[in-house]
C-alpha cells in the first residue's frame, strides 16, 4: 500500500476486495504510464531529482509497458488496490528505491485526474471516428434513395410524403450534433491538473506547464482544489454517450418497425438477425433490439455519476472512484453500438417500391391540397378547413383523394378544377417542394454532394 506508514494494522482482506478498483481502472494503465513519464521528466528538468534518476524511472516505466504488452506482467495478480499502486510497486521491483522518488510533488488525486482526462479525450476521439464512419455509410445509402418515397410520420401517423434519403440524412444531422458534444468534451477535458497535489499544490518547485505540454494539454488548471474535485468532464462525456445512444435507439426502433410484416419495407441481413427456437419462420431484428435496450444502461451510467457527485464536499472523496466503471462501460457500449449499426446498414435490403402505389392519392397529400388552395388565393386557415372537410367526405365514401371527382371537390369550394389532381401524383410530390431543407430531390442531391465533400 502507498499509505501504510500511518497504520499499525493491515487492511482487512474483505475491505480491500470491496474497495479495490484495479479490475476496471486497469483501462487507465496506458495513461497512468504517460502521466508518470511526463512527471518524472519534469522532476529531472526542475532539479527535484537528478536527470539520471529521471531517466532511470522513465526507462523503468517503458519496461513496464513493454512487459504488459508482451503478457509478461499481469497487474491483476499483484493484489493491489488500483492500477496506480500496481505500477509504482512493480517499478520498485524493477529499479529499486529510486522508484519512490516518482511520487515527489504528486498525489494519487492529481495523478488519477490527469490520466482520466487523457482517457476521456482519447475515447471521445475514437467515438467521433466511429460516428464519421456511420455518417459516410448513411450518405452513400442516401445517394441511392433520393427518390425512394416513404411516408413521413408525426405521432406515428402518416403525415407527408418524404424520401428514404431525406429520412437518413436527418440521422446524419443528429450524428453531427453527437460529434459536437464530444468535441466539447475534448475541449473541456483539455486542462491538465497534474501538479495540484492532493488539493492544495506543493511547496516544491515544479513546472506544470512542462508536464501539460508533454501530455498534449492546451493549458493547466488554475485552482488546485477545483482540479481535484472536478468531474464535470466525466459527466459531460457520459451525457454525450447517452444522447448518442438515444439517437441510435430511435433509429433502431424504426428499423424494427420497417422490418415487420406490417411495414415490409426492409430486410435485415442474416448476419445481424436471429431466429426462434420454436417458430421456424422467424427472423428477429435482435441487433437493433439490443442497441435499443442498451440505451438504458448508458443513461443509467450518466445518472449514477451525476447522482454520486451531487452532494460531495470539496475536494476528493472516495465516492469518486465510482466515476470510472460507468465511463468505461458507456464508451464500450456506444462504440460497439455505432459499429453494429453500420454493420446493419452495410447489407440492408430495401423494398424501393413498397409505398409508391399505396400512397398514390392518399390522404397524406392533404397538406399539398391545402397549399394548392392557398396558391389560388384562399387564406390558409380557410384552406385547412376545406381540405379537412374533403378528407372527411372521402373517408366516408371509402375513396382516396384522387378518386374524388371535380364535382365532389367543388362541394367544398368552387375554386377546384382539374388541376387539383396534380397534387396527388407520388412521382412528382417531392419535386413540388421548394423550401431549403425539404426532401426536394434536387436540393437533396446538392446536400449529399456537400456532405460527401466534407467527409472525403
**CA 327 to CA 237: how far, in whole Å?**
8
> What pLDDT is stored for residue 8 in this prediction?
67
> What pLDDT is stored for residue 2 in this prediction?
55
Whichever domain contains 54, its CATH number is 1.10.275.10
Examine the domain organization and report whether 271 and 419 are in the same domain.
no
The answer to the question of residue 399 being in a domain is: yes
- Asked if 401 and 361 touch (Cβ cutoff 8 Å), the reply is yes
- Asked if 401 and 363 touch (Cβ cutoff 8 Å), the reply is yes
3-state SS assignment for residue 159:
strand
Examine the domain organization and report whether 269 and 335 are in the same domain.
yes
Examine the domain organization and report whether 231 and 272 are in the same domain.
yes
The answer to the question of residue 331 being in a domain is: yes
- φ, ψ of residue 160 to 5 degrees: the values are -145, 150
Examine the domain organization and report whether 171 and 231 are in the same domain.
yes
Whichever domain contains 285, its CATH number is 1.20.200.10
**CA 330 to CA 239: how far, in whole Å?**
10
CA dist list (Å): 124 to 89, 266, 282, 456: 31, 32, 38, 21
- Asked if 113 and 230 touch (Cβ cutoff 8 Å), the reply is yes
Task: Count CB-CB contacts under 10 A for residue 250.
Answer: 13
Whichever domain contains 436, its CATH number is 1.10.40.30
Examine the domain organization and report whether 429 and 374 are in the same domain.
yes
∠124-75-123 over CA atoms, to 5°? 5
The answer to the question of residue 212 being in a domain is: no
The answer to the question of residue 275 being in a domain is: yes
Examine the domain organization and report whether 352 and 371 are in the same domain.
no
**CA 16 to CA 129: how far, in whole Å?**
39
Task: Count CB-CB contacts under 10 A for residue 284.
Answer: 15
Range of the domain at 27: 4-104
∠114-119-123 over CA atoms, to 5°? 155
- In the chain, which stretches have pLDDT less than 70? 1-8
Total domain count for the chain? 3
3-state SS assignment for residue 160:
strand
> What pLDDT is stored for residue 81 in this prediction?
86
Q: Where are the alpha helices (DSSP H) in 145-203?
A: 164-189
> What pLDDT is stored for residue 13 in this prediction?
80
Torsion of CA 134, 138, 140, 141, to 10 degrees: 140
3-state SS assignment for residue 274:
strand
Quick check: is 196 catalytic? no
Render pLDDT for 74-121 as a digit per residue (tens, 0 to 9): 999 877 889 999 999 999 999 999 999 999 999 999 999 999 999 999
- Note the maximum CA span of the chain: 100
Examine the domain organization and report whether 371 and 442 are in the same domain.
yes
The answer to the question of residue 270 being in a domain is: yes
Examine the domain organization and report whether 41 and 182 are in the same domain.
no
> What pLDDT is stored for residue 208 in this prediction?
98
Quick check: is 155 catalytic? yes
Examine the domain organization and report whether 349 and 393 are in the same domain.
no
| Sole residue written with cell 520498485 | 92
3-state SS assignment for residue 375:
helix
266 membership: H or E segment, kind and range: strand 266-267
Last residue of a domain, one of 356, 372, 396: 356
Last residue of a domain, one of 337, 356, 375: 356
> What pLDDT is stored for residue 270 in this prediction?
95
Examine the domain organization and report whether 351 and 363 are in the same domain.
no
Examine the domain organization and report whether 191 and 302 are in the same domain.
yes
Last residue of a domain, one of 43, 73, 104: 104
**CA 139 to CA 447: how far, in whole Å?**
10
The answer to the question of residue 209 being in a domain is: no
Q: Which candidate in 19, 218, 271, 276 is catalytic?
A: 276
The answer to the question of residue 213 being in a domain is: no
The answer to the question of residue 210 being in a domain is: no
Examine the domain organization and report whether 89 and 226 are in the same domain.
no
3-state SS assignment for residue 243:
helix
> What pLDDT is stored for residue 5 in this prediction?
62
Q: Which candidate in 155, 277, 396, 435 is catalytic?
A: 155
Amino acid at each position: 500500500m502507498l499509505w501504510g506508514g500511518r497504520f499499525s494494522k493491515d487492511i482487512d482482506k474483505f475491505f480491500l476486495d470491496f474497495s479495490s478498483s484495479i479490475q476496471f481502472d486497469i483501462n487507465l494503465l496506458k495513461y497512468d504510464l504517460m502521466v508518470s513519464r511526463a512527471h518524472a521528466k519534469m522532476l529531472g528538468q526542475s532539479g527535484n531529482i537528478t536527470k539520471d534518476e529521471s531517466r532511470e524511472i522513465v526507462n523503468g516505466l517503458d519496461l513496464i509497458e513493454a512487459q504488459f504488452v508482451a503478457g509478461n506482467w499481469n497487474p491483476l495478480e499483484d493484489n493491489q488496490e488500483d492500477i496506480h499502486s500496481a505500477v509504482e510497486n512493480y517499478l520498485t521491483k524493477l529499479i529499486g528505491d529510486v522508484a519512490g522518488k516518482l511520487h515527489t510533488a504528486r498525489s494519487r488525486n492529481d495523478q488519477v485526474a490527469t490520466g482520466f482526462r487523457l482517457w476521456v479525450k482519447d475515447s471521445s476521439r475514437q467515438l467521433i471516428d466511429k460516428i464519421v464512419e456511420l455518417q459516410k455509410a448513411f450518405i452513400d445509402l442516401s445517394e441511392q434513395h433520393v427518390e425512394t418515397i416513404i411516408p413521413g410520420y408525426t405521432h406515428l401517423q402518416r403525415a407527408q410524403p418524404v424520401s428514404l434519403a431525406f429520412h437518413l440524412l436527418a440521422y446524419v444531422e443528429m450524428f453531427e450534433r453527437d460529434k459536437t458534444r464530444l468535441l466539447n468534451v475534448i475541449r473541456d477535458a483539455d486542462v491538465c491538473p497534474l501538479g495540484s497535489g492532493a488539493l492544495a499544490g506543493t511547496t516544491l518547485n515544479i513546472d506544470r506547464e512542462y508536464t501539460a505540454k508533454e501530455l498534449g494539454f492546451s493549458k493547466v488548471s488554475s485552482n488546485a482544489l477545483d482540479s481535484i474535485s472536478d468531474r464535470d468532464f466525466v459527466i459531460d462525456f457520459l451525457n454525450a454517450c447517452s444522447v448518442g445512444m438515444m439517437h441510435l435507439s430511435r433509429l433502431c426502433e424504426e428499423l424494427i418497425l420497417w422490418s415487420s410484416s406490417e411495414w415490409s419495407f426492409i430486410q435485415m441481413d442474416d448476419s445481424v438477425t436471429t431466429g426462434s427456437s420454436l417458430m421456424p419462420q422467424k427472423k428477429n431484428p435482435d441487433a437493433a433490439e439490443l442497441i435499443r435496450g442498451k440505451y438504458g444502461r448508458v443513461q443509467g451510467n450518466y445518472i449514477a455519476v451525476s447522482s454520486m457527485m451531487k452532494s460531495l464536499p470539496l475536494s476528493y472523496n472516495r465516492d469518486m472512484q465510482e466515476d470510472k466503471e460507468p465511463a468505461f462501460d458507456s464508451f464500450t457500449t456506444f462504440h460497439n453500438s455505432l459499429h453494429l449499426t453500420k454493420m446493419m446498414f452495410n447489407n440492408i435490403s430495401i423494398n424501393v417500391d413498397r409505398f409508391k402505389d399505396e400512397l398514390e392519392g392518399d390522404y397524406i397529400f392533404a397538406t399539398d391540397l391545402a397549399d394548392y388552395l392557398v396558391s389560388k388565393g384562399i387564406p390558409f386557415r380557410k384552406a385547412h378547413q376545406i381540405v379537412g372537410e374533403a378528407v372527411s367526405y372521402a373517408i366516408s365514401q371509402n375513396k382516396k383523394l384522387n378518386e374524388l371527382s371535380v364535382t365532389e371537390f367543388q362541394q367544398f369550394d368552387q375554386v377546384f378544377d382539374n388541376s387539383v389532381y396534380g397534387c396527388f401524383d407520388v412521382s412528382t410530390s417531392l419535386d413540388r417542394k421548394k423550401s431549403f431543407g425539404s426532401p426536394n430531390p434536387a436540393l437533396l442531391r446538392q446536400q449529399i454532394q456537400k456532405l460527401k465533400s466534407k467527409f472525403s
